Structure 1
Amino acid sequence: MLTPRTFRSVEGAYLALLQQVAGDFEHRITARGNDAREVIGAGFRLPDPRQRLPYLAARKANPVFQFAEALWYLAGRRDLEMIGYYAPSMRAGSADGLTLGGSAYGHTLFTPAAGDTVSPFDRVLELLRGEADSKRGYLPVFSPAELAVSDNPDMACLAGLHLLPRKGRLHMVCSMRANDLDCGLLSDVFSFTMIQEYAAVQLGLELGTYTHLIGSAHVNDRNSERVKQVLAEADTRPHPHNFPFPAMSEETTPDTITRVLEHEELLRTNKARYRADDVARLDVDAYWQQAVLLFEIYRQIRHEETDAVSRDVLEALHPGLRWLCSHRWSACADAGGEQ
């Protein structure tokens, strides 16, 4: 039986795809002015979707944005006010300067359609609660209507998510129309596996496998130098870093997401400043306190333009998140460590 290749973490899948497209690509393409190398029909599987973070110094993954984007999706939002703060480049995809269209996946998944009162996500959960071994838990995201918009600046890359409960575990298959392996893959897998884990918690199921399927897997030529640096690091380091990430709290509900985002907004707008002990006393559990700590770090970097982020906040972070922050921002480097 043929199944996608399995990797222990997203890092291994990311490196394998980069190696394939960098050295054994199938096509040279030019799409909307971007020259790229491409492989058609790529994919992989993660047996533990919680291992959704890469620890590669040359890549400098941004855990603040990754948590922000996942929460933005889970809240069903499409506004640029929030997500544009963490990723200003996303503003280029907005037709009106205020909202995003196809790439606002959470709005499609978690907001009821016109004339409905239940979101597609909640409707699928309702289906799965009453139908064992269902094959019908599919959440489409890409819409054919997007093709009718001339010069569409923001067409969904995500085709859909397929939730499959089997023997007490919730598996998910993600289908991508296209994936930029260097720029988009890591944040996509982070957010989609968060959605999968959130769904598992709501259904009272254990987390199953995550399978990621891509129509056009590509790397743009303008990013080829960074890809070379990432692959060189992977080839020369003595061993991969290992920071197993904890499970999402079983108490997580839509209200939890709302509360976390209330704290995010206070920090994003610089209306609050948290020490580590302040975060520990917040109305969210320890798992989601990690996201608030990240938002406080970013507040200090953006609003205080500090040379050194508060050490107590850094030390309260999960070791993997601290490692990523230390390699992303020099203000976090003192407490980064090489665990």
Structure 2
Amino acid sequence: MLAPPMFPSFERAYIEVLRHVSEDYEFRNAPRGNTSRESLGLSFQLSDPRSRTPFLNSRKINPIYHFAEALWYLGGRSDLAMIGYYAPRRHRDSHDGVTIDGSAYGARIFQQPYEQAVELLQGEKDSKRAVLPVFRAGELADPQSPDVPCLLALHLLLREGRLHMVCYMRANDADRGLIADVFSFTLIQEFTACVLGVDLGTYTHHVGSMHIGEPDMPRVEQVIAESIGRRSELPRFAPPVMPTDTGWPQILQVLEHEEALRLNRIQYTPEDIAVLGLAPYWQQVVLLFEVQRQLVHCAADPVDLALIAALSPALRWQVTRRWPGRMPVEVRL
């Protein structure tokens, strides 16, 4: 069987990748001092790219950052101000403290390459040429660069009315970057399916070097143990579906609200968000950005109970586990 293994959700793929790289790795090495276990040439497929989020007690993810990063890409941005607000660690990726180059994938994709790819697929539905390149000649010219892109390219393939996407990466940290990358890239895929007016197809993820840092192995072992011993107890949530009429106006509108909240120029109640003219899908994203505003700008006060109650069950599950100490007493675990 030559095709990569197919999984019904990213959670299942994530667990299997962790198990393989941690137990059946090919190499142990330490490039630039980062001791890791490594497997070469790993691939997997997702039959439902919307099931892009793992729900694991032992791996508390940050859904606010994931949506912020995906929107940062969709906005074609390279500014450190936005992405660094949600993940201060991203400051180390910047040469000048103002911009990010290599891993600002959206700034490389959502300009001419993306529009050309969409136009190509609109005119030639079976095309093999709709490639969105990211890695550039000359990326390795600076050996001290803090930010060489891990993403090589995204490949859009429209087949029988469904948009499939294949992702090619030079390297991926299976415990860390893989979660955020799959979230952003599958969301870009779903957005593009909306733009083209077609159904969502499969997502394929190819990685040259899949690795796990040795310092992260205790957490990886906890995830693997949980997947074996507590699988039946883990909650399951139906993935949300992006509105089919989503296009650039909706993305720009959400980014406007994100900026106002990030700069603390405004504060929203759930009732305020409900009348912004956004579909419920995007209202949930703005709710998350208001949660972030309160986490950052409201000292140590608990996040507003009404805000947490307005989140979907899946997002509420993630948020209450990621920031238990900042949750209202009524929802603390």
Normalising by structure 2, we get a TM-score of: 0.96
Aligned match for 1:260, one of 254, 257, 272: 254
Aligned match for 1:178, one of 146, 163, 171: 171
Q: CA deviation at 1:228?
A: 1.4
Separation in 1, partners of 2:147, 2:25? 26
Aligned residues of 2:153 and 2:167 also touching (Cα < 8 A): yes
SS at 1:271 equivalent: coil
Separation in 2, partners of 1:246, 1:43? 25
Separation in 1, partners of 2:3, 2:50? 20
Separation in 2, partners of 1:209, 1:332? 36
Aligned match for 1:292, one of 269, 286, 289: 286
The 1:205–1:224 alpha-carbon spacing in structure 2 relative to 1, beyond 3 Å, is same
Residue pairs, 1:8-157, within 5 angstroms: 8-111=8-111, 119-157=112-150
Amino acid at match of 2:131: Y
The 1:221–1:311 alpha-carbon spacing in structure 2 relative to 1, beyond 3 Å, is same
Q: CA deviation at 1:150?
A: 3.0
Aligned to 1:242: 236
Structure 1 residue ranges, 4+ long, deviating more than 4 angstroms after superposition: 333-338
Q: CA deviation at 1:271?
A: 1.2
Cα RMSD after superposing both structures = 1.4
Unaligned runs of 5+ in 1: 112-118
Amino acid at match of 1:293: L
Aligned residues of 1:322 and 1:335 also touching (Cα < 8 A): no
Aligned residues of 2:65 and 2:86 also touching (Cα < 8 A): yes
Aligned residues of 2:191 and 2:242 also touching (Cα < 8 A): yes
Aligned residues of 1:326 and 1:333 also touching (Cα < 8 A): no
Task: Verify: 1:230 aligned to 2:223, yes or no.
Answer: yes
Q: CA deviation at 1:132?
A: 2.2
Aligned to 2:213: 220
Q: CA deviation at 1:225?
A: 1.3
The C-alpha deviation readout for 1:86-132, integer Å capped at 9, x for no partner, is 00001101111111111000000013xxxxxxx21111000000002
Task: Verify: 1:193 aligned to 2:186, yes or no.
Answer: yes
Q: CA deviation at 1:244?
A: 1.4
Separation in 1, partners of 2:125, 2:246? 23
Separation in 2, partners of 1:49, 1:2? 21
SS at 1:108 equivalent: helix
Aligned match for 1:167, one of 152, 160, 163: 160
Aligned residues of 2:305 and 2:328 also touching (Cα < 8 A): no
Q: CA deviation at 1:171?
A: 0.3
Task: Verify: 1:332 aligned to 2:297, yes or no.
Answer: no
Aligned residues of 2:304 and 2:328 also touching (Cα < 8 A): no
SS at 1:156 equivalent: coil
Amino acid at match of 1:13: A
The C-alpha deviation readout for 1:6-38, integer Å capped at 9, x for no partner, is 111111111101111111111011111100000
Amino acid at match of 1:212: H
Q: CA deviation at 1:201?
A: 0.5
Q: CA deviation at 1:251?
A: 2.1
Separation in 2, partners of 1:79, 1:193? 22
The C-alpha deviation readout for 1:266-285, integer Å capped at 9, x for no partner, is 11111111111111111321
Amino acid at match of 1:16: E
SS at 2:172 equivalent: strand
Percentage identity across aligned positions?
51
Aligned match for 2:317, one of 323, 327, 338: 323
The C-alpha deviation readout for 1:126-183, integer Å capped at 9, x for no partner, is 0000002111111111112211123111001001000000000000000110000111
Q: Aligned pair count?
A: 331
Aligned to 1:115: none
